[in-house]
């Protein structure tokens, strides 16, 4: 005993040591659309979410996707159903642009970014110049004004939900 504070342990719990997993990104995407926070999405909100994420209906269109997603066929998509369906590599790839854009902003991978990080990330992704309108949009992202833009806050503005 007595070596619990070994160098390795300290490094592991150090800030930024743990990056958000893809699953955490996906859960945030669901929560961004689930504005009433009841952990469910109706069919039309599910379609909206997929379209907002850039899903382009692949083979068979949204109905096929819904069938694959809403496993118990109750016309309600739960967070777990969404995560399981979108984890399909082809779907994941088609819906990656906002995910990639945000992870370019979120340097330490904790699913939050500062306003300056978001601006830098947009520039890095080739979105320049940053127009005044875009600057205003970015400033409005931090809904609870804690100086951090979470991925959920970021998406709600991108989705036009606020």
Of 21-29, 59-67, 95-103, 141-149: span binding Ca ion (CB under 5 A)? 141-149
146 binds Ca ion (CB under 5 A): yes
The answer to whether 94 and 55 are in contact (CB under 8 A) is yes
29 binds Ca ion (CB under 5 A): no
Taking CB under 5 A as the criterion, the residue among 43, 76, 92, 120 binding Ca ion is 76
80 binds Ca ion (CB under 5 A): no
Task: Please count the other Cβ atoms lying within 10 Å of the Cβ belonging to residue 68.
Answer: 15
Binding mask 34-73 for Ca ion (x = CB under 5 A): ------------------------------------x-x-
Cβ nearer to Ca ion, comparing 3 with 44: 44
Which residue bears the tokens 């990104």?
25
* Residue 16, C-beta contacts closer than 8 angstroms, at least 6 positions apart: 108, 109, 110
Of 19-27, 44-52, 53-61, 135-143: span binding Ca ion (CB under 5 A)? 135-143
Taking CB under 5 A as the criterion, the residue among 40, 88, 110, 137 binding Ca ion is 110
Nearest approach, Cβ of 7 to Ca ion (angstroms)? Answer: 24
Of 32-40, 47-55, 82-90, 110-118: span binding Ca ion (CB under 5 A)? 110-118
Interface with Ca ion (CB under 5 A):
70, 72, 74, 76, 106, 108, 110, 112, 142, 144, 146, 148
């Amino acid at each position: 005993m007595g070596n619990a504070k070994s160098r390795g342990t300290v490094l592991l719990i150090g800030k930024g040591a743990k990056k958000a997993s893809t699953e955490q990104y996906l859960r945030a995407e669901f929560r961004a659309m689930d504005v009433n926070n009841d952990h469910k999405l109706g069919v039309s909100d599910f379609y909206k979410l997929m379209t907002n994420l850039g899903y382009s209906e692949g083979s068979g269109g949204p109905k096929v996707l819904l069938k694959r997603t809403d496993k118990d066929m109750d016309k309600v998509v739960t967070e777990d159903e969404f995560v399981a369906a979108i984890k399909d590599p082809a779907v994941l790839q088609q819906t990656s642009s906002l995910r990639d854009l945000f992870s370019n902003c979120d340097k330490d991978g904790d699913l939050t970014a500062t306003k300056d990080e978001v601006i830098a990330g947009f520039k890095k992704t080739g979105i320049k110049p940053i127009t005044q309108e875009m600057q205003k949009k970015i400033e409005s992202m931090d809904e609870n004004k804690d100086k951090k833009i979470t991925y959920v806050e970021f998406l709600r503005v991108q989705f036009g939900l606020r």
